Amino acid sequence: MELYRSHVLICGGTGCESSGATNIEEKFKVELKKHDLEKEVKLVKTGCFGLCEAGPIVIVYPEGSFYTQIKVEDIEKIVEEHLLKGRIVKDLLYQESVEEDMIKSIDEVGFYKKQMRVALRNCGLINPEVIDEYIAMDGYKALGKVLTEMTPEQVIEVVKGSGLRGRGGGGFPTGLKWQFTYASKGDQKYVACNADEGDPGAFMDRSVLEGDPHAVIEAMAIAGYAVGADQGYVYVRAEYPIAVNRLQIAIDEAKEYGLLGKDIFGTGFNFDLEVRLGAGAFVCGEETALLKSIEGQRGMPKPRPPFPAVKGLWDKPTLLNNVETYANIPQIILNGAEWFAGIGTEKSKGTKVFALGGKINNTGLLEIPMGTTLREVIFEIGGGIPNGKKFKSVQTGGPSGGCLKEEHLDTPIDYDNLVALGSMMGSGGMIVMDEDNCMVDIARFFLDFTVDESCGKCTPCREGTKRMLEILDKITEGNGTLDDLDRLESLAETIKSASLCGLGQTAPNPVLSTLQLFRDEYEAHVNDKKCPAGACQSLLQYFITDGCKGCTLCVKVCPVNCISGEVKKLHEIDQVECIKCGACVDKCPFNAIIKK
Amino acid sequence: MKSLAELAKIREETLKKVDIRKERKGTRIVVGMATCGISAGARPILTALLEEVNKRNLGDVEVTQTGCIGICQLEPIIEVYKEGEGKVTYVDMNAEKARRVIAEHIVNGKIVSEFTIGAYEK
């Protein structure tokens, strides 16, 4: 066995991978060889570290030095200075981790300090493609414990006692779901995992699969034992090639070790796992549609009941949980229900992973105990709003969720609080908006998404969302009336109550919540034909102010030749001809062109 | 995998390889590896330390390097930080001496006084 004095961890999540992590790994190999350090320094490609904003990320242990936005050219310096001579390269460290003369390790910087990692505990710590590293972090210990020491009933009791609720968005108590499936009669039962993460901007499940695939595999085997299933399926979207690849490698490794397959640990328990790829239809994240898709049929929802726990895959009882839900299970088994129930709020236990995006300094992935406030997430972990702009709203729950305002920021995050405010937990997407975001436009964006993704089976969703989108288009183009707002509301209520599945039932939420909280913005669009945030192009006009020096640059850049004026004299824009492309604003060296 | 014992064995073996990434308590051995240290022969010392730690299965011992410690004429220098003990500085080291430090100081808890900077100065 080789013992290395230093480990260099390179983030191999999708975010860092796309900003060049592969080249970085190659360059490290070359440099380490050049300095003959191959036997002293180990290179490890891991899953997502979370702070995607600062990628590509490299962490060097034992110091825990947190190098961010690393370029291939920087590596020579890191190897020569840090790995060879032991001098941390301060210039390349994450800015916040250098404080005067103190250098902080990764756990001490603001982004990580308030986090608590349960589902993400191994992400960015182990090499997801090496099963031994997962085993070293107590991997498969929970499966061993369950198979040798516990009855299925006891396992279900522990999960129930933990208070774990579905992390895919619904928040249904996981233990109850397990119990229902356990209690269903059937010669064959199945366990399935929903990794069809479809919310725009959400990447929690992808990161778990990329960073710690064995946690999901182990949990599914535990679930199989608890409910009496010997076959599992992971339904993951084909747009996640790295996640699919690592999951498949992990399954193959587990099979080779006999942790999947026949007679696991010599207990007579059999469990096998297969990957099923989804083609990226949003509706396939809905449980009944997902199961149809696994069967090889067109992914369309069907009415419930019967629930999958009674009649699921091929009409057999099926347990379906989300990736993040599963990722919590081995920890709950090892540490006990009380440990998990001790984290979080009264009705929402444990931690939740969020994908933070939008107008925020630290875009990335974070995991916090339930009950952390939105303010802590956005301003402490997320580092606040960039460019000194003012916070306006935060959107949670993706296309099914809603927007929250400044006054809601001190609300502790849990399932029930968010629902009470007209939004929802959802799968964990969190999009921050500043004063430049128009709330009507945001509602339109999400509705546009659901119109695209509606499967068309039921009329309220297929036709209703389309009509709502038309009304929103009308409003953002400046042709709306006050009646349109009422019409939006009544359509929304109908779609909510009459749609077949969750997609339609929640599709109007972004519109309803913005109408409720930001009605003044809608009214400004309708009554004054103005967009207060200056985002709706049709309602804007560009003007040249007295700051104009007559340099004629704007005239040259205008694609429709609508700017006129003599050299060294004030120019003017022809409002009829102007297509509002904004090219002149970007070009003007004196910031003399404004939009309003 | 037919038994929990097999799983435990893999766990223990791999843990030694990865626990450098966890925060831990224990002993830290630092080797001065600036230009002065390297040219005085710090590399074979570092390798020897790693080999010994490895061979003796000293899971809670971390071997790391640092920059110039300041007294270049006494390089190669290694410093040992043991929990509950002050820092011990060994000077004018070589690979053999380093092995003795592991055996006597790290394992048996007896500081090798003759190699320390205090002894050298006398």
Global confidence as pTM? 0.84
Question: Do A250 and A182 reside in the same domain of the chain?
Answer: yes
| Tokens 């080999």, residue located | B51
What distance in Å separates residue A42's CA from the closest CA in chain B?
10
Closest CA to A198 of A246, A239, A242, A241: A239
* Within a domain: A115: no
Question: Do A374 and A509 reside in the same domain of the chain?
Answer: no
User: Is B16 at the interface with chain A, CB within 8 A?
Assistant: yes
| Whole-number pLDDT of residue A18 | 86
User: Is B104 at the interface with chain A, CB within 8 A?
Assistant: no
Q: CB distance A265–B19 less than 8 Å?
A: no
The pLDDT mean for chain A works out to 91
User: Is B36 at the interface with chain A, CB within 8 A?
Assistant: no
Residue after which a domain boundary falls, among A416, A434, A452: A434
Nearest by CB to A265, which of B1, B19, B50? B1
Whether residue A13 is predicted with pLDDT greater than 70 in this model: the reply is yes
Whether residue A519 is predicted with pLDDT greater than 90 in this model: the reply is yes
SS (H, E, C) A434-483: ECCCCHHHHHHHHHHHHHHHCCCCCHHHHHHHHHHHHHHHHHHCCCCCHH
What is the four-CA torsion angle of A130, A131, A132, A138, rounded to 10 degrees? 130
From chain B, the residues in CB contact with A107 under 8 A are: 23
| Whole-number pLDDT of residue A330 | 97
Q: Give residue-wise pLDDT tens across range A134-191.
A: 999 999 999 999 999 999 999 999 999 999 999 988 889 999 999 999 999 999 999 9
Can you point out the beta strands (E) in A282-329? 318-322
From chain A, the residues in CB contact with B23 under 8 A are: 64, 107
> Minimal Cα distance from A86: which residue of B?
B66
Question: Do A448 and A521 reside in the same domain of the chain?
Answer: yes
Q: CB distance B11–A257 less than 8 Å?
A: no
Beta bridge partners of A66: A59
Question: Do A241 and A264 reside in the same domain of the chain?
Answer: yes
Q: How far is CA A593 from CA A17, A75, A545, A586, B103, in A?
A: 40, 44, 6, 9, 76
B122 or A443, which is more confident? A443
What is the four-CA torsion angle of B69, B74, B76, B78, rounded to 10 degrees? -60
* CATH number of the domain residue A550 falls in: 3.30.70.20
Residue after which a domain boundary falls, among A73, A107, A141: A107
In this structure, what token pair is assigned to residue B122? 């006398």
Question: Do A361 and A429 reside in the same domain of the chain?
Answer: yes
Rg over alpha carbons for chain B, rounded to the nearest Å, is 16
Question: Do A47 and A192 reside in the same domain of the chain?
Answer: no
Cβ contact A227:A269 at 8 Å: no
> Minimal Cα distance from B65: which residue of A?
A86
Rg over alpha carbons for chain A, rounded to the nearest Å, is 27
* Within a domain: A536: no
Q: Give residue-wise pLDDT tens across range B80-111.
A: 988 777 788 898 999 999 999 999 998 888 88
Question: Do A190 and A285 reside in the same domain of the chain?
Answer: yes
Q: Give residue-wise pLDDT tens across range A404-418.
A: 999 999 999 999 999
**Mean pLDDT confidence for A589-593:** 90
Q: Is A188 left (phi over 0), alpha (psi -120 to 50) or beta?
A: beta
pLDDT band at B1 (very low <50, low <70, confident <90, very high): low
pLDDT band at A100 (very low <50, low <70, confident <90, very high): low
Domain segments of chain B as ranges: 23-121
Q: CB distance B35–A135 less than 8 Å?
A: no
Question: Do A88 and A157 reside in the same domain of the chain?
Answer: no
Rounded Cα gap, residues A102 and A87, in angstroms: 13
**Residue A339 exposure: Cα atoms within 13 Å on the Cβ side:** 11
In this structure, what token pair is assigned to residue A112? 């990580």
Residue after which a domain boundary falls, among A383, A406, A434: A434
* CATH number of the domain residue A206 falls in: 3.40.50.11540
Residues of chain A numbered 53-92 and touching chain B (CB < 8 Å): 61-64, 84-87
Nearest by CB to A141, which of B7, B13, B47? B7
Cβ contact A267:A147 at 8 Å: yes
| Whole-number pLDDT of residue B119 | 81
Q: Name the residue range of residue A563's domain.
A: 541-595
Q: Give residue-wise pLDDT tens across range B11-54.
A: 888 887 777 776 556 788 888 887 778 888 888 998 899 888 88
What is the four-CA torsion angle of A211, A212, A213, A214, rounded to 10 degrees? 160
What is the b/e burial string over A448-468, where b = at least 16 CB atoms within 10 angstroms of the residue's CB?
A: ebbbebbbebbebbbebbeeb
Closest CA to A217 of A160, A138, A271: A271
Question: Do A430 and A443 reside in the same domain of the chain?
Answer: no
User: Is B56 at the interface with chain A, CB within 8 A?
Assistant: no
* Within a domain: A209: yes
pLDDT band at A268 (very low <50, low <70, confident <90, very high): very high
User: Is B23 at the interface with chain A, CB within 8 A?
Assistant: yes
* CATH number of the domain residue A505 falls in: 1.20.1440.230
Q: How far is CA B54 from CA A48, A63, A474, B25, in A?
A: 30, 20, 72, 18
What distance in Å separates residue A331's CA from the closest CA in chain B?
16
* CATH number of the domain residue A380 falls in: 3.10.20.600
Nearest by CB to B4, which of A126, A133, A148? A148
What distance in Å separates residue B25's CA from the closest CA in chain A?
12
Question: Do A235 and A355 reside in the same domain of the chain?
Answer: no
Question: Do A189 and A313 reside in the same domain of the chain?
Answer: yes
Number of domains in chain A: 5
Domain B23-121 CATH assignment equals 3.90.550.10: no
Asked if residue A386 has a cis previous peptide bond (ω within 30° of 0), the answer is: no
Question: Do A466 and A589 reside in the same domain of the chain?
Answer: no
* Within a domain: A507: yes
Highest mean pLDDT among A103-112, A340-349, B37-46: A340-349
Whether residue A390 is predicted with pLDDT greater than 90 in this model: the reply is yes
pLDDT band at A1 (very low <50, low <70, confident <90, very high): very low
pLDDT band at A374 (very low <50, low <70, confident <90, very high): very high
Nearest by CB to A61, which of B21, B63, B65? B21
What distance in Å separates residue B93's CA from the closest CA in chain A?
17
* Within a domain: A40: yes
User: Is B25 at the interface with chain A, CB within 8 A?
Assistant: no
Task: Indicate the range of A90-104, A359-373, A472-486, B62-76 predicted with least confidence.
Answer: A90-104
A225 or B15, which is more confident? A225
What distance in Å separates residue A104's CA from the closest CA in chain B?
13
* Within a domain: A10: yes
| Whole-number pLDDT of residue B25 | 64
pLDDT band at A292 (very low <50, low <70, confident <90, very high): very high
| Tokens 């490698």, residue located | A249
